[in-house]
Structure 1
């Protein structure tokens, strides 16, 4: 009997090992991963640990789902290196505006700028903590298009290389970048200053700014007030377009695939506990079912490429300041 049990256990172990090897090889093929033999063993362990987490989460959580992506074989240190939001002193304004949304008007049930003709395709920050630069540029692109009628992509690389208020690939903040742009005289077109950053990039060391390629100027910017307040942010979203914000990134979000993201560990008490810049581009509410209630959500644009999340976007629970998303919303106006 003991011998039979040992045979069964050995058979199961072999089957699991074969399954793990097949899953690892398919993952590498699917995401174009290629490693040296020594690195492959480490990456495989990272992947298998993540595979167990994803399987367990999807079995137990019905509100949102996980899936494998480019992050699945990365170490925690690698994933943290691309987080670049560096909060500034709260409510500092460099360019003030006397014009604010009317807060008592009727808001639409939903807003979704993802398919708006003025929304540029999702971009990928790569191995650089430059999320702040992408969050800076998105609302400028959108609002300049709304004002001038022409969709133009603007340069994140100009900010990574030139903005001395921020730290290039070492992080920064969109309000600092808007201050820099307003003082510099405008932001360049991406066609004249394309994004190239990888693991390097230190502001001020390789700036190629040229005023001849400037296509938009910042005229005003500020924080949404009061905060955190979902209704206030919804009003600004309607009147001023996409709103950058900063959030706390937990390990759970790297493999987000669908649904409305939430994590009890992401209800944080410290408003400065944020490390990644994103852009809110809409809001809505899920339809209630027999097993799940209706859930208010934000539609959020990320800068991790179209292969992440829902073609580069994700939904996150609205109205509870999930991951501090409602504490750091800001708006910008352009000419």
Structure 2
């Protein structure tokens, strides 16, 4: 299997100097299976991945197959590149079960069709060529959901953090763990819908801070005492008209937007940089946050998407996804299930509906 030999030297350098756009190697660079094992050990050390001997043997086989795929894709003329990231010894099935988790398509069938709402951004007519809410101070640093299917909570929180900053001028990191523990319409680490999280926030009249209710990455009992503190308020939410990338553009011009995507496939798992044009379906299984858009120097249009898999994935935690494609649902279904919070009042403290009595009703 020459592919295993060919990539050894280049990928060894990868761990020292980081990912580059090309893999340059010669026949003299060929190495053995033993060298690949050494590469796997270096990868484990770099990512502090602990395995016993039997598990390592099994994972090494997965690692080799993933490496083969990464190398093959990177030799193609694609506008994006892949890399050996922290998930390199996981199968795609294992990866999605651990790090996806929104299961929007599944829960949408269980919970019924999308709510019909207004669309306050319908009349938006000013479309800058480039929008990046990070540069406007409305996006918190990248977070990491870990092995908990709580992406729906991270997507919800990021869009609430965004609209709160837009209205108040203050970026406050909010609690995903509160949603996991207390939003009973959703399913904690087993997935959920951003729409149902917004419903919870609208009725409970707020979300407490991450500092006050820190992330644990697992399902726990709702801690009411931690919610008796100043919370960020939203006044409601709306759904972006589905399968309409122009409507999605109108929405993100005004604020960060919660979106669901199909994050399946190895190319998404190992995405490193560039505009993602890879294969993906519309089986929505992952919640992320749309924080802008733009186009490359060659005119390729993209959406700027904030993920919740830590800063070592993608472009320091972000992915640029192809924009304005023929399919109405957008790349990976990004325009199928988009929503955003509404905040009219810049007041950041919970109001009359946010009493402990009302909170207790919400979490029971």
Structure 1 residues 98 and 80 mapped into 2: Cα distance closer, same or farther (>3 Å)?
A: closer
Q: CA RMSD in A?
A: 1.9
User: Which residue of structure 2 aligns with residue 236 of structure 1?
Assistant: 251
User: Which residue of structure 1 aligns with residue 266 of structure 2?
Assistant: 251
My pick for the range that moved more, 72-81 or 159-168, is 72-81
Query: What residue ranges of structure 2 are gaps of 5+ in the alignment?
Result: 1-27, 346-364
User: Which residue of structure 2 aligns with residue 325 of structure 1?
Assistant: 334
For residues 253-282 of structure 1, what are the alpha-carbon distances to aligned partners after superposition, in whole Å with 9 as ceiling and x for unaligned? 01000111112x42x4xx5x2100111111
User: Which residue of structure 2 aligns with residue 28 of structure 1?
Assistant: 44
**SS state at 2:235 partner:** strand
For residues 44-94 of structure 1, what are the alpha-carbon distances to aligned partners after superposition, in whole Å with 9 as ceiling and x for unaligned? 11111111111111011331100011110123343122222233344315x
Within 5 Å, give how 1:20-99 maps onto structure 2: 20-81=36-97, 82-87=99-104, 88=108, 89-93=112-116, 99=120
TM-score, normalised to structure 2, is 0.79
TM-score, normalised to structure 1, is 0.85
Among 160, 169, 181, the alignment partner of 2:180 is 160
The answer to whether residue 346 in structure 2 is matched with residue 305 in structure 1 is: no
For residues 121-154 of structure 1, what are the alpha-carbon distances to aligned partners after superposition, in whole Å with 9 as ceiling and x for unaligned? 0000001000000000001111112212222111
Report the alpha carbon displacement of residue 116 of structure 1 after superposing the two structures with TM.
2.9
Query: What residue ranges of structure 1 are gaps of 5+ in the alignment?
Result: 1-11, 289-293
**SS state at 1:34 partner:** coil
My pick for the range that moved more, 145-154 or 130-139, is 145-154
**SS state at 2:148 partner:** coil
Contact between 1:185 and 1:211, CA under 8 Å: does it hold in 2?
A: no
For residues 160-189 of structure 1, what are the alpha-carbon distances to aligned partners after superposition, in whole Å with 9 as ceiling and x for unaligned? 011111000000011100101111121111
Contact between 2:256 and 2:290, CA under 8 Å: does it hold in 1?
A: yes
Among 294, 307, 319, the alignment partner of 1:284 is 294
**SS state at 2:341 partner:** strand
